[in-house]
Amino acid sequence: MRGLFAILTIACAARIASAEARGSGETLVGWSDDGTRYAVIGFTTDGAGGKPEFFLEVREGTKVAFRWVEPAGADAQTPDKIDVETWEPVKKFALKKLDGPAAQKRFAAKLVAATTGKADDRYDCGPGGWSVKKRNGAVLREVKASQRHCFRVMGGYVNKAGTHSLVKVREGWQVSNAAGAGDRTIYEYSRFVLVAL
């Protein structure tokens, strides 16, 4: 997991001259049968005290119900090695390991996700946002971009019961820096959004 995030951070910094990069990325690792609770592992540059950290989070709707941060040390447990079905601190949430391909197929069969807006580059977009709707056309969630933020829907999942969807969205933007601090700061955050069906 560390290797992937390191590569993404380095690639982003190399691609954008004179830019500082901030952001986060996460991977879905567990979901409750009723679709209301889910677990992600990830990395953020905005951890406690503004320091980077690897984490595991369990969310209920839009609230964080549990958060664990990887401790320092060569022998420390890592989030990607945690079994969300059996690890004692999260057993009470009744999470199941994700069957990614099946959940993605259910999403593709039931829903359509789209990004709107014109991108001048990956971090500077005209008015737009993202949405997810049923294949019959009923809009379930629509988000409008604030300022010149760019959105991209990275994919989605539907739980076995067909009651909830998780949509993975990437949001990026840039901020011009003061003279001498580099040309700009790039922000890119990937996250899951729970949508009731």
Over its C-alpha atoms, the chain yields an Rg (Å, rounded) of 18
**Total number of domains in the chain:** 1
pLDDT at residue 3, rounded to an integer: 46
d(C-alpha 40, C-alpha 193), whole Å? 12
Write the pLDDT tens digit of every residue in 2-20.
Answer: 544 443 443 444 344 456 8
Q: In terms of Cα–Cα distance, which of 51, 53, 71 is closest to 2?
A: 53
Given a cut of 70, whether residue 31 has pLDDT beyond it is yes
Over residues 100-129, the mean pLDDT reads 87
pLDDT at residue 74, rounded to an integer: 66
Q: Which domain holds residue 124?
A: 2-196
